[in-house]
Chain A
Amino acid sequence: MERRDFIKISAITGATAALDSCGQPDVQLIRFIPEEELMPGVATWKPSICTLCPAGCGTLVKVMDGDAEVIRNGTLGIMKMGLAKKIEGNPKHPISQGKLCPRGQAMLQVTYHPDRIKGPLKRTGPRGSGQFQEISWDDAIKELVAKLQELQAAKQQASLSFLTNPLRGQRRELIERFLSTYGAPPAIAFEVFDEAVLRRANELSFGRPQVPTYDLARANYVIGFGADFLGTWNSPVAQAVAFGKMRQGRPGQRTKFVMVEPRLSQTGANADEWIPARPGSEGILALGLAHVIMKEKLHTGAAAGRAGSLIEGWSSGLAAYSPQEIAPRTGVTAEVITRLARELAAHTPAVALIGGAPLATPDGLARALAVNALNALLDSVEKPGGVLFTPQPPMAQPQPATTRHPESIAERLGLLAPKDSRETPPVAALLLDQANPVFGLGDAWKIRDALQRIPFIASFGNFLDDTSVFADLVLPDHSPLESWVDSTPEAGAQHAVVSIAAPAVRPLHNTRAMLDVLLDVAHRLGGPVADALPWKTYEEALKTGAKALQALPGSLAAKDSDEFWNKLLAQGGWWSTEIRPAPARPPETRQRFAPVGAARADHKEDSPFCFLLCASPLLSDGSLAHLPWLQETPDPLSTAMWSSWVEINTKTAERLGIKQGDQVEVESQHGKLQAPALINPGIAPDVIAMPVGQGHTNYTRYASGRGANPISILAPMVVPETGSLAWAATRVKITKVGEGKLALFGAELREHPHEHR
């Protein structure tokens, strides 16, 4: 052995021996030391925000120095820069409380994704061909400005449309200002699984147009109606933290959790009791429970007040909803209904959650109101262990006045005849910010054709997806880790939260923060737009907005605004336990609601199955299908990776002669798709379930052309009151078409398979 090597080894091993110290004589060496045994590198943890879903978890980003290949003004070179290595929850943050969900953990790959757009692009090929050429930022912005000025000249500002994913906080403030001063209609926010119905219901019942926060940690009894609160629904991390406490957090006390849903979801799998009520009968069941409670006088205090009065026949004790009455309609026996009602009343504070599929049918609103009434009857509204509403600090804007639902998108895109008198000129220019309606709306909406008809489309997203591939101009945004981010969570915390974070790392590519670009454009346009947006940068705008917080009682004490600002950034945001929700003002309405049974919309005899979409716990609504980590992580229940599948009840499959892994065709009135069958003992015999997430036509090398998109065959239906996509109202038939290929990580369904053979 070379003397030099020997010295090297003994040096390393010396250190190791020191580490291994206790009980081990120093002569004991580990040869060929694994690098884990070496000194760890130096890292700094920078506060940031997870922007992958509206929950707005506060994060810490582990940043370490490294060499990166970067292109700076045209030339490629190696650059020493801070690199994000790991993302963890920010322990101080009221929403994440130091934790993260799988999606948040994978956010790292958004920044370092090989198919990120590396600079501004101009379309060269035909629309949607994905053929672009790189151009300079200056040219790109000039082009956008020119287009906007052209519209101004033609007095057609109203024909500018801004399509984005849901906006909150300062980001939305700036965009809305830009649009209003420019003269364009407000931005259209689009997401597949939006919560408009729930907001509307809470507005009607409690006067709060807001997604609720559930105080699970202090509840003694929890009953969920389709609300996948441990998966992707609402504020999953905060809810999971609370779930841990409600299960084992309080010595000697363990909350019972009942889940009502036709397909055993990841959330349902954790329930103490699982009740596969008929799809759509959740509202009836809730009222059945209310009936028993009122009949047996199990409730304390006044009977639900306003929330109840919205329900038809409430005052008369819901006579129509006796257990015997509703048993056949819900598929739940009268005994069970009665027992549940008694348990609920006996274990207050008890809370009922509703979300997801039950709200995504044309009659969804009534179901939400029924559950609201039940909560009110249980006296758990805005009470510990019940339904709470996160106080909204000044920086958070009230919910947008504009509708934010598919119909309006359709209208704006000039597809359907306008529903109201407001005359909407056809869209002359469309600005896209991450929203992906081509993927998120059924083929029946003919979005692609609409996009083809729009003269000018500019996209800000940092990936080419099914929609932005239609853009003429691409002005790629930074990744969330590279840019200023802010969020004011609508739910998840019991007190007001404003998260603001500085860039954790320097930009890797030739990208620009979307809002900086917007400000730049505003200044170039001049006039009222420029006046309304005086700030040079988004950072500046945030800093100004944050001033409003300093006056309020909160988590930060500072003598001047700079100190306040620095403390705020160091902490990753501002939050206050002392801000109370504003007094609730429910709107007056004479309307009375009665939930109907299972969705019968467009029911045809040859479509015997209710088609249930489930948000993938990993790929969410499909917007995360481009991250390889999430693609390869097994789905919690099916354990499938990198693929789509169709879930069929065991008995049903036997009846149809379908075996695990067979390729099946799912056909609705509006289209058909194929995917391998997955036999699932935890799904109702008359329900076919499919995960949302795969089936992108164009979304990076990892997601493009993979699996099938169940949304594509949905009936073009909406919830009338809000216009949200009614994604749970489609019925389908299935037929076996041959051999399929499932990629499952888990082999057996059962822990003792031989007992089931």
Chain B
Amino acid sequence: MTEKTPNQITEDLLRPIFQTSWKFFAVVAFLGAFVVAAFAAYAYQVYTGIGVWGIRRPVFWAFDITNFVFWIGISHAGTLISAILRLANATWRRPVTRCAEVITAFALSIGAMFPIIHLGRPWLAFWLIPYGSERQIWPNFRSPLAWDFFAINTYLIGSVVFLTLPIIPDWALVRDKAEGWRRRVYTILALGWRGTPRQWARLESAMHIMAIAIIPVAVSVHTIVSWDFAMAPVPMWHSTIFGPYFVAGAIFSGIAGLIIAMALLRKFLHLEEYLQPVHFDNLGKLLLMMSLLWVYFVFAERLTAWYGNDPAEMVVVWATQRGPFAPLFWTMVVCNFLIPFPILAIKRLRTITGTVVASLAVVIGMWLERFLIIVPSLSHKYLPYSWGDYRPTWVEITIMSGTFAGMALLYVLFSKAVPIISVWELKVGKHGVGSRE
């Protein structure tokens, strides 16, 4: 990389904030349309009754919870990864961390909406909040859904803090560069940051503690999400493997999401100088590892089921591998392994395009995986007389597409307000933490 002076870096990274082209508004309008559509569909659902979804007995969860698990999974890229890299003090992380952490904050918020969206009586969702209410009743803390409530909120708060703290110095930077209303706004955001040695020191140690605290939280979150299933005596759900299985899957899909996001930023914000092939290469290696880990888990899960030969579980195994769900199942295997593995394993293919292709496949594959964990089991529960099937309706599909558009939209807006790459960390990176020569 041709040496850039700190001021050039500042200029490059602040450009998206100060310059706005018509493209920005076009993109916002486009994505916004989907989001609005999703909210309209949801309003219709609340008004008419959740019957407008395709869910039916015995498949009471389908797209809703699939998206819930999927988005929570995506959220595991950011904070977790950047925390690990922070502790490992991997210097290549510096341009990557922020765009990763942003994914966490937004994906988590989107995912957390689904437990509310999917309620039969969403207007009573607040009954999940533990407070001494006039109903004289507390939530049932034995319910995995209550655990979700605590775990997700902890992770959300943690991630937002983890994301925001390192932004403060950059906001101060923007404050100093900006004029007019922007200056006033960023003055407030910057909290009066000056960059005294004490501030820097405290920031660093706070980030250190956060990094340590957030990792176990991240792990617990997706473990608990997996327990939503593992706690129920449903064929192929009631399994001890689910915790790690879900966490691995989450990181897997998360990294894929991160790679895609980075590629887009690189292209549209002209950050070629900062998000370089080496970053994609490193993340690609990480993705490769997770892909192998995923195959390992799927194999372990299927093997134990097959070897144990429990009738109820075998029904589900065959339903997915040979039965009605086979097409989806094998698509998943292709997307999560057969496509990414060669691309990522062969150095020549582990280019930016290569990793992006692999990531796209993984995102699709992991969404299918969530769906295949939920629906086939529910539709083949023990007594064959009461088996059932499931077809999504336009309402579910609209809401789902809305979440993807919403994610992108939030991302675009964020990169408008905040330098998507941490400027000061990058500068520090330049001359190795300013050590005396």
Contacts and interface: CB of A to CB of B under 8 A. Distances in A.
Contacts of A757: 318
Interface string A288-323: 000000000000000000000000000000000000
Nearest to B317: A754
Contacts of A750: 384
Contact of B311 (A1, A31, A754): A754
Nearest to A747: B387
Contacts of A32: 135, 137
B384 A748 contact: yes
A753 interface: yes
A639 B388 CA distance: 14
Interface string A726-757: 00000000000000000000111011111001
B387 A748 contact: yes
A747 B381 CA distance: 12
B384 A1 contact: no
A5 B314 CA distance: 53
User: Which of A751, A754, A757 has the largest count of B CB atoms less than 10 A from its CB?
Assistant: A754
Nearest to B384: A748
Contact of A746 (B134, B135, B315, B385): B385
Contacts of A1: 134, 136
B314 A754 contact: yes
B19 interface: no
Contacts of B435: none
Interface in B355-409: 384-388
B323 to A, nearest CB: 8
User: Which of B134, B314, B384 has the largest count of A CB atoms less than 10 A from its CB?
Assistant: B384
A29 interface: yes
A9 to B, nearest CB: 8
Contacts of B137: 31-32
Contacts of B314: 754
A753 B315 contact: yes
Contacts of B388: 747
Interface in A25-53: 29, 31-32
B136 A29 contact: yes
A751 B134 CA distance: 48
Contact of A747 (B136, B311, B385): B385
A565 to B, nearest CB: 51
User: Which of B134, B385, B386 has the largest count of A CB atoms less than 10 A from its CB?
Assistant: B385
Contacts of A751: 384
Interface in B314-330: 314-315, 318
Contact of A31 (B136, B318, B385): B136
B318 A747 contact: no
**Chain B contact patch, size range:** 10 to 19
Contacts of A747: 384-388
Contacts of B385: 639, 746-748
Contacts of B136: 1, 9, 29, 31
A754 B135 contact: no
A49 to B, nearest CB: 36
Interface string B391-432: 000000000000000000000000000000000000000000
Contacts of B134: 1, 5
Interface string B115-156: 000000000000000000011110000000000000000000
B211 to A, nearest CB: 44
Nearest to A755: B311
Contacts of B135: 31-32
B387 A754 contact: no
B318 A754 contact: yes
A639 B315 CA distance: 22
Nearest to B386: A747
A639 B135 CA distance: 42
A320 B385 CA distance: 47
Contacts of A753: 315, 384
A25 to B, nearest CB: 16
Contacts of A31: 135-137
Contacts of B387: 747-748
Interface string A134-162: 00000000000000000000000000000
A390 to B, nearest CB: 39
Nearest to B389: A747
Interface string B282-320: 000000000000000000000000000001001100100
Nearest to B323: A757
Contacts of A748: 384-385, 387
User: Which of A29, A32, A748, A752 has the largest count of B CB atoms less than 10 A from its CB?
Assistant: A748
Nearest to A751: B384
Interface in A8-37: 9, 29, 31-32
Interface string B325-343: 0000000000000000000
Contacts of B386: 746-747
A436 to B, nearest CB: 34
Contacts of B315: 753-754
A752 B384 CA distance: 7
A488 to B, nearest CB: 42
A753 B316 CA distance: 12
Interface in B92-106: none
Interface in A697-736: none
A253 B173 CA distance: 95
Interface string B251-278: 0000000000000000000000000000
A754 B313 CA distance: 11
B308 to A, nearest CB: 15
B118 to A, nearest CB: 22
Interface in A372-410: none
A220 B386 CA distance: 37
A85 B308 CA distance: 52
A31 B138 CA distance: 11
Contacts of B311: 752, 754
B378 to A, nearest CB: 13
Nearest to A1: B134
A432 to B, nearest CB: 41
Nearest to A2: B134
Nearest to B379: A747
Nearest to B133: A1
A751 B386 CA distance: 11
A748 B387 CA distance: 7
A721 to B, nearest CB: 45
A608 to B, nearest CB: 33
A639 B385 CA distance: 10
Contacts of A9: 136
Contacts of A746: 385-386
Given A747-B384, A754-B315, 4 more contacts: A1-B134, A9-B136, A29-B136, A748-B385
4 A-B pairs closest in CB distance: A748-B384, A747-B387, A1-B134, A746-B385
10 contacts: A1-B136, A5-B134, A747-B385, A747-B386, A747-B387, A747-B388, A752-B384, A753-B315, A753-B384, A754-B314
Interface of A: 1, 5, 9, 29, 31-32, 639, 746-748, 750-754, 757
Interface of B: 134-137, 311, 314-315, 318, 384-388
